Structure 1
Amino acid sequence: MRYTSEHKQATRQRIIEAAGRRFKQDGIDGSGVATLMKDAGLTNGAFYAHFASKDDLVANVVADQLREQRASFDSTPSGRAGVEEFVRRYLSVEHRDSPESGCPSAALLDEIVRCTQATKEAFTDGALGVIDEISAGLAPGDPQSVRAQVIAAFALMIGTLQLARALADQQLADQILEQGVQNTLALLPAEDRG
């Protein structure tokens, strides 16, 4: 039976989304093709109709996850208020406790460093897209004027979330998140730069 290109694309996207959740939950190395395909409701044999290898899937998942994160920024208010909302949502207890539905950077960064060049390029492009989106939100007229600050803030947010997730002491983890919010906001311009 031949499927339409739309059906094939929808199936491919279903695999990417299921793999994104599983990778962020169990890690890239902790997620085999059989489990990923089961999560997508498909058989192992269907995998190679959509991806050349698991490495190919990983690169596609990283690109998709960061594209989705960038798109989520579009739903926040413009200006400093929107960026502050994004920072508080990112460094929240809910985000800390739900890695499978959160930021791919905080969940997968330690594994991405050991991935293929294609995955590293997908991550670089996606991370720069998020940085550029935040920069444009803070300074629509001159995003480059705040880009260095946004890079520092983005790195701080990722590291803060990773540290908060690694701690057994929930009270300390909560304090780290709150301090991360304060430190991140202190790095960013105090007012909109239009």
Structure 2
Amino acid sequence: MPRITREDKARNRQNIIDAAGRMFRAQGIDAVGIADLMKEAGLTHGGFYNHFASKDELAAEACGASFEASLGVLDQAVEEGPGPTGTPLQRVVNGYLSAAHRDAPDGGCPSASLVIDAGRHSDTVQGAYAVGVEGYLTGFASELARDHDEELTPQEARERAVLLLSRLVGAMTLARAVRHTEPELSDEILRTCRAHAFD
């Protein structure tokens, strides 16, 4: 039997992290078993512990990787600058509070899809989630300070960033919670919060 190369091992590990990120966001951390996770990653159940000491360790890494990808959207918007559809932050908010994001939790931002899981899991998972939240707050505060004609102190920009992120996560959590039984209500939540996100 051929030996696995270092590159193969790294690729397999990344496949597990990617599969975990999708499955944890869509189903919740506790609902995903290791056997199903490894099958989704295209690997055998027994190989899990060659890569991770525990499911908790994987959850923290998957959370971190998911936030990194999501924060990349903000970075890209900032790099593109203002455009016909608004400032970078307006475009991010509109994308976040969209039906497409609501309907695809497995690929969306973990801030809403993992908010309950992070609160129920270990300090390791909470720590990874907190790092992601801080990334959003830092990015939002920077953009809010840039977008406002009036001078914002760093504290004021930070407070507005906290309010904005809380509105986004709350709105998305509520919109997802009712989307199957009350789709019009779900749409109303998203529409209203998009219109008043910066109030």
> TM-score, length-normalised on structure 1?
0.89
**Deviation of residue 25 (structure 1)?**
1.3
Count of aligned positions:
186
Match of 2:117 in 1: 111
CA distance in 1, matches of 2:153, 2:142: 5
**Deviation of residue 133 (structure 1)?**
1.8
| 1:52 and 2:63 are equivalent in the alignment | no
Structure 1 gaps, min length 5: 187-194
Match of 1:20 in 2: 21
Q: Any residues of structure 2 matched to 1:85-164 within 5 Å, and which? A: 85-139=91-145, 144=154, 145-164=156-175
Q: Secondary structure at the match of 2:198?
A: helix
Structure 2 gaps, min length 5: none
Report the residue type matching 1:163 in the other structure. L
| 1:182 and 2:195 are equivalent in the alignment | yes
CA distance in 2, matches of 1:177, 1:122: 27
CA distance in 2, matches of 1:166, 1:13: 30
Residues 62 and 157 of structure 1: CA distance in aligned 2, closer, same or farther (over 3 Å):
same
| 1:5 and 2:18 are equivalent in the alignment | no
Q: Structure 1 vs Structure 2: percent identity of aligned residues?
A: 36
Check the 8 A contact 1:136/1:142 in 2, yes or no. Answer: no
Q: Secondary structure at the match of 1:41?
A: coil
Match of 1:78 in 2: 81
Residues 74 and 110 of structure 1: CA distance in aligned 2, closer, same or farther (over 3 Å):
same
**Deviation of residue 142 (structure 1)?**
7.8
Report the residue type matching 2:174 in the other structure. L
Match of 1:67 in 2: 68
Alpha-carbon RMSD: 1.9
Report the residue type matching 1:174 in the other structure. D
Which has the higher mean CA deviation after the structures are superposed, 133-142 or 105-114? Answer: 133-142
Residues 54 and 81 of structure 1: CA distance in aligned 2, closer, same or farther (over 3 Å):
same
Q: Secondary structure at the match of 1:37?
A: helix
Structure of greater relative contact order (alpha carbons < 8 Å, 6+ residues apart): 1
CA distance in 2, matches of 1:90, 1:143: 26
Check the 8 A contact 2:144/2:161 in 1, yes or no. Answer: no
